[in-house]
Chain A
Amino acid sequence: MSSLLSGIRSLSPQSPTDTARRALNDVRLFVPTPLTDALDDLVHAHTPTDRPTPRRDAPTPDAFAGRMHSYEILNQYIVGAQWRALALAAEASILETPADEERTLFKLWTYRILALCSLGHYASAAREIRRLEVATMGASVYEHVHPRSPTIVWPFELRVLRAQVAGLALDDWPTCADRLSSLHRACHRRLARQTDVELNQQRTVRLSFMLATCAVRMRDAQLAVRVMDHLVSEAPTDPRLTSAMARLHLQLGSIREAELQFVKVEQLIPPDDKLARMNRALYAVASGKWEAARDLFHSVAGDVPEEHVCAANNAFVCEVYLGHPQRMLDALQRLMVAAPRAAGASEELVFNYCTGLDLHYDGAKLREEKARKMVDVATWAGDGFNTASFKLQ
Chain B
Amino acid sequence: MASLMRESHPLTLKVMRLSRPTLADSRALPMDSSTAVLAQALREAEQNRPTASGQIFSDLQLSDAQLPLDAFPLSEALVLPRTFGTMFLGETFSAQMCICNESAFVVRDVAVNVVMQTATQQVPLLDNGATQLAAGQPLNVQVAHEIKELGTHVLGCTITYLSAQGEHRTLQRSFRFQAANPLVVKTKVNHLERDVLLEVQVHNATHATLVLERLRFEPSSPFAAEDLNAPHGDTALLWGGSAGFMQPGDARQYLYRLRAPVASEEASVEQERAVQYATALGKLDILWRGAFGSVGRLQTSQLLRKSPGMFLIEVDKAEIGKTDIAKDPSVTLETPFCVRARVRNVSENAMTVLATVDANKHPLVMPCGPTRHDLGDLAVGEAREICLEFLPLAAGVQRFGAMMFVDSVSGYTRELGHLLEVFVA
Contact = CB atoms under 8 A, between A and B. Distances in A.
Given A250-B292, A314-B77, A222 B245 contact: yes
A222 B242 contact: yes
A52 interface: no
Contacts, number: 279
Contacts of B1: 355, 358-359
Interface in A197-250: 198-199, 201-203, 205-207, 209-210, 212-213, 216, 219-222, 224-226, 229, 235, 238-241, 243-244, 247-248, 250
Contacts of A206: 30-31, 68, 70-71
The CB with the most chain A CB atoms within 10 A, among B3, B16, B40, B79, is that of B79
Contact of A157 (B38, B68, B138): B38
Contacts of A111: 38
Interface string B1-13: 1011100000010
A251 B289 contact: no
Interface residues of A, number: 97
A323 B141 contact: yes
Interface string B50-75: 11101011111010011111111111
A321 B60 contact: no
B48 A349 contact: no
B98 A359 contact: yes
B396 interface: no
Given A157-B36, A349-B77, A254 B211 contact: yes
Interface string A312-335: 011001001101111000000000
B22 interface: yes
A93 interface: no
A347 interface: yes
A317 B78 contact: yes
A81 B289 CA distance: 39
Contacts of B366: none
A254 B244 contact: yes
A78 B58 contact: no
A58 B20 CA distance: 39
B124 interface: no
Given A220-B247, A251-B74, A349-B77, A240 B14 contact: no
Interface string B234-246: 0000011110110
A132 interface: no
A240 to B, nearest CB: 4
B30 A348 contact: no
A125 to B, nearest CB: 12
B293 A250 contact: yes
Interface string A262-286: 0000000110011100100010011
A13 interface: no
Interface stretch (A59-67, A361-369, A370-378): A361-369
Contacts of A288: 293, 295
A34 interface: no
23 contacts: A75-B37, A157-B30, A157-B31, A209-B71, A216-B73, A222-B247, A235-B67, A251-B22, A251-B23, A253-B211, A254-B244, A257-B240, A269-B60, A274-B59, A275-B60, A288-B295, A317-B80, A323-B96, A342-B48, A351-B79, A352-B78, A360-B100, A362-B4
